[in-house]
Every structure is written in structure tokens, then in C-alpha cells.
Amino acid sequence: MCGIVGYIGTQAATEILLSGLEKLEYRGYDSAGIATILSDELNCVRAKGKLHNLRSKIEQSENPAPIGIGHTRWATHGKPEERNAHPHMDMAMRIAVVQNGIVENYRELREQLKTQGHEFVSETDTEVIPHLIAQFLKEEVALADDNSDVIFFEAVRKAVNELQGAFAIAVICADYPDELIAVRQQAPLVIGFGQGEFFCASDTPAIIAHTRAVLPLDNGEMARLTPLGVEVYNFAGLRQRKHVRMLSLSPTMVEKQGFKHFMLKEIYEQPGVVRACLDAYFSSEGDGADSLINLGLSESVYADLEQIQIVACGTSWHAALIGKYLLEQLAGVPTQVQYASEFRYAPAPLIPNTLTIGVTQSGETADTLAALSMEKERRQGLEPKYQVRLLGITNRPESSLGHMVPHIINTLAGIEIGVAATKTFTAQLMAFYALALDLAERRKILPQENLAEIIAGLRHIPKEIESTLETQEKLTEHLAHEFAETQDFIFLGRGINFPIALEGALKLKEISYIHAEGYPAGEMKHGPIALLDAKVPVVAIATPGSVYEKVISNAQEAKARDSRLIGVTPVNHGEAADVFNDMIPVTEVDELLSPLLTVVPMQLLAYHIAARRGLDVDQPRNLAKSVTVE
């Protein structure tokens, strides 16, 4: 939520900031703003709504300023209006601040600052920061000798020590035009190193066009960027030794490459993502003698395991539900899946030898991080069998989650820009297949030939997705034409495909704004069937296996209530052709592997309906890709 970017160097900052913000717009798009310093004057421009509004405000003026900060906002405190847009300034309009996160004690600070004569113009928590810095700056200036070059840095450091919450900040001051201060406390911030120019940003796509040399700040660290270099300190003011590393991301990965939307491009990238996961998680030669699985997890993760608990949100929670199915059915480990936002306030009783898994594509979801740190805390100091064991499944190993947990499964989907998760979901499923098989193998639950058979089945998945993608796309586009004005949708699935029904409904809700519900097909008769009539289409996932006939019967019950039935199903199997009004074909595979195929038409259907409705598919209203507030 919210994206921040900063630049100091020799080029004009404005365009660098604007193009950086474009790449961060997935983090929020309620308003945007930039502040630059030229000839010791601060110039701040802000606009409500998307970045193009800010761009059109700025384009009328030339601004060669070589330092600046920028922000794209997902509103938390205060409506999405221009006065609440960042950057925020002090009363003298010399200091500008952008923030991603929440300053939890802003009310107390605001009251205290008011008694010192400060007046506020916005409803935001952020505005206290430039005022607080201004207050400390006055004191620092009074105390400092003429040679001190850390006056501004010290004022920011002291202000930051007063803040409570989770935040990343970038600050500039017109009186110190050669300094940009970047601060990280539980919200992501990376520093970029160019030739005589330096950057900071909430995420690497914002700076990849300029540099691949980066240094992610850790919590409790702040960086002083000047035209001469970067110094990193902790909040106590002690210099930190850090190592720059090179990103593998390339600038083209964050382009649409001919697709109309990032979401469609990312749906089409799924075969490649599955291949990348197969290459990373499984040995290429299944000779049966050695382990077929290369997750690289130490025995301490698995030893004497009594249960697994998984915390996640949204689409990652749906992936976790499939994970539960796999972990229980393949590896025989009792597994619970919790919404991270609920777990924190009502944790399950402590069970010894528990593995806790956080699933988050961004690695920054505040609810998931909070649930994991609560789990860590409540197990601290207990006897060994109760001690915490944490594993993360994420697409961003460099994220806050990556810093928090000792073991990570990297989901290798590549950067996902569309706000609706697609390829990262599929990659999370691949991580769960590998984890469940690894566990099954180590616990000697699954005979080696079954294991090899499942892995062989997984190896066919990329080809199966590829061979149906085009047909599915045409069919879903056609259906989108018919259903673009529909008000309610029901998605049905059972067993391992029930979470896919939930995911289908979530995809449709979030990008097309159509009301949709996912149900386990057998539950319809216990209430929701009352919703059905000719105006409510039902999408049923019917794949061969233990529940195929049951799903077909449940679909028929819906048909008897006049619902139009869309089957996501192998077309030549069983009664499908007689039951469904429309069919989106998926290849017949082992039931256990079917979610990797059935999810694709769900994504395409939602995509085409939203595109048909003329909606902003990649940046749906009210949403942000990285949900860094609880």
C-alpha cells in the first residue's frame, strides 16, 4: 500500500520520479505527488486520482531539480483528496515527507505539536512527520557547530525515534538540498546505486530502468543519500555495514510486451512459471534412488511434525487451502489454514512440533507478518518441542517475510504487476505440491513410484495449460460478452477444487465488481440454492475423480432452478455435455493436479468480463497489490 520513490543525482528528478511511480502504481492509486528542490526552494505538486492527473499538472513546467521524492497513495487516514496527498510539508514548507505505512501514535504527536504552535492541514498520520522533523531541526541547528554536516540527518533520526508503527519514509529539506533521508521500519524500502546518482523505492521495479545494484534496508535502519554516496545507520545513529547486491529482474519484465493488460500477460506466463518451479523444486532425473525433490529444507523443519498451520490472506489463503488438501492427503500431516487477520487475535491452542507457514506473494502483507510474529512471540522460552518453526512461501524472498523467517520457498513467478494475483497463485500451488511430496517422501508415506508418477504428471502441466489457453480465451471472451451485465455469479467446486471456486469468485469480484460467491457444491442445498434463478449463472468445476458425479448432480440441481450452467470440465468426459449450457474445456489429468488447470479459465473469465465492462483490470478500485496495513 502506497509506493514511495526518491532520487538524488545529476539528472532532472521529475521524470525519474514519475516513471518510478508508474511502476509502483499497483501499490495504490488514490492520489500521487512529488516534491523537488531547485535553487534551495521546495516545489511540491500533488493531484487526486491516478498518476496521469499528476503528470498533466506537471508537464506544463520545466523542472531540472536534481533531487526529489514521490508518492502514490492507497488511502488509510483521510479521504483520497489532494490535501491528504503526499508529500506532506512542515509549516515553513521547507521539509517534505512521503510515507508508506501507518504512524500509530500520530494523534498524541499531533496534539503535542499543536501545543508547540504547529498547525495541520490534512487528516493524515504522515503530516506529523515533517512537523516533528522541523521541531528537532530547530534544536539541532541551535546546538550544532558550523562544521557539522549531519544536522538534517540527526533531526530526522530523532523524529523517527518518536514514531510508532510500521512505515517507510523518504525526506528532503530545502535547507539541505544535497541530502535525501530514507527510513525503514517494517515497510519495504530499497536503495539503488547508479553512476553518481542514488535512488530509494518501495519496490525494485521503480528503479530497475536505472540500476540493478540495490541494497534493501532492514527494519530500524535509515540511509543518508547524497550525491557522493550512501551511508546506512541504525535508529541509534550507529553506522551499519551493508552489501550491495545485483537484481536479476530486467526492465522488460515490468512491461506489457504487447498484451492489453498485465493481468492477461501474467495469465499467459503461467506455463513458464510452472516450468521454472519444476526445474527448481524437482530433480531432472527421477532415478528413484535419490530424493526427487530439492526444496533444500533442513530436517529440523520436518522432525516429529504433529501439525502444520498456515496463515495467509486472499488468494494466498486459497492456495493454502489447496496446500492443506495436499499436505493431509499426500503427507498425512494434520493441517489448519487460518486467515492471518483472524489468527492473530484468536490463535489456536499451542500444539507441540508445529510448523507454521506464512504464504504471501508480496512478503509484505501486514496481517500475515503480524500473525507470524505473534506465533514467534507466544512460543518464545517454551520447552523445545513447543518452539516455533517458521517457513515462508513467497514470490519476494527479499521481502519483510524473507527477513523474518529462517526458511523460504521462493515461488519464482517473476514480478506480478496486475493487482489481481494470477501467476503467483499457480506458483504457490507448485510450492505446496513440492512441500507435500517432500514431506510424504521423508515420512515414507508415499511409495516412490506414486511420487514419481505425480511428479511426471506435474511435468505435463505446462503443456496442458498451453494447449488449452487459446481455446479457453476465445470461449471466455464470448461468455464475457453475454455476462458483462450480470449482477450475481455462483462458483461451485468440491474437494481439491473447492478453493478454485473461491478463487474464481474472488477474481470476478475484485476486477469486475460483480457480486460472486464460491461454495463447496454440496453446500448449495443447505441454503445458497435459494439465490438461484435464471438471472444467476453458475460456474461448476467438474473434473474426473472422487467428486465428479457429485458435482454433476449439484450442477443439475442448479439447472433445475433455471440457472445457466457453465462447466469447467473435460468436454468428452461423462455427462458433462448433457448437463452444461456452456463448457470451458480443461484437459483430463489426475484429480490431485487439476487445480493447476481449472484455475486458468477462472482467471480468464474474470479478466474478459472486467475488460468487456471497460474497467481498469490491472488497478481495480479500492485495492492495492501489497497490503501493508492491518
CB 557 within 8 A of CB 585: no
Q: Is 256 a catalytic residue?
A: no
Would you call 593 helix, strand, or coil by DSSP?
Answer: helix
**Out of 421, 427, 429, 436, which residue is the one contacting ligand F6R (CB under 6 A)?**
421
**Min CB(623)–ligand F6R separation in Å:** 8
The helix (run of H) or strand (run of E) holding residue 102 is strand 95-103
- Could you say which of 72, 361, 543, 563 contacts ligand F6R (CB under 6 A)? 361
Element at 574 (helix H, strand E): none
Contact with ligand F6R (CB under 6 A) among 126, 204, 341, 365:
365
Contact assessment for residue 508 and residue 486, using Cβ atoms and an 8 Å cutoff: no
What CA–CA distances, in Å, run from 86 to 169, 191, 366? Answer: 11, 20, 21
Smallest separation (angstroms) from ligand F6R to the CB of 144: 43
**Rounded CA gap, 402 and 368, in Å?**
12
Q: How many CB atoms lie within 10 A of CB 327?
A: 26
Q: How far is the CB of 401 from ligand F6R (least distance, A)?
A: 8
In the complex with ligand F6R, which residue's Cβ is closer, 568 or 627? 627
d(CA 515, CA 503): 13
Pick the catalytic residue from 265, 423, 507, 625. Answer: 625
Among 80, 72, 61, 56, which Cα is nearest to 17's?
A: 72
Q: Which of residues 72, 204, 338, 360 is near ligand F6R by CB under 6 A?
A: 360
Cell numbers describing residue 470: 487459446
HEC string of 404-470 equals HCCEEEECCCCCCCCCCCCHHHHHHHHHHHHHHHHHHHHCCCCCHHHHHHHHHHHHHHHHHHHHHHH
For residue 130, what is the enclosing H or E element? helix 128-143
474 given a catalytic annotation:
no
Instruction: Examine residue 411 and tell whether it contacts ligand F6R (CB under 6 A).
Output: no
Using CB under 6 A as the binding criterion, the count of chain residues that bind ligand F6R stands at: 14
Cβ proximity to ligand F6R: between 365 and 594 the closer is: 365
Give the per-residue contact string, 568-607, with ligand F6R (x = CB under 6 A; - = no): ----------------------------------------
**Complex with ligand F6R: residue 211 or 365, whichever CB lies closer:** 365
Helix (H) or strand (E) holding 431: helix 423-442
Rounded distance between C-alpha atoms, residue 493 and residue 521, angstroms: 5
Instruction: Tell me the closest approach of the beta carbon of residue 611 to ligand F6R, in angstroms.
Output: 16
Q: For 67, phi and psi rounded to 5 degrees?
A: -145, 140
Residues 506 to 545: which contact ligand F6R by CB under 6 A?
A: 506, 510
CB 318, min distance to ligand F6R, A:
8
In the complex with ligand F6R, the residue whose CB is nearer, 267 or 421, is 421
Which residues 276-335 are close enough to bind ligand F6R by CB under 6 A?
A: 313-316
Question: Does position 627 bind ligand F6R by CB under 6 A?
Answer: yes
For the beta carbon of residue 267, count every other beta carbon within 10 angstroms: 26
Q: How far is the CB of 507 from ligand F6R (least distance, A)?
A: 6
Would you name the residues annotated as active-site residues?
2, 625
Q: Which residues bind ligand F6R (CB under 6 A)?
A: 313-316, 360-362, 365, 368, 420-421, 506, 510, 627
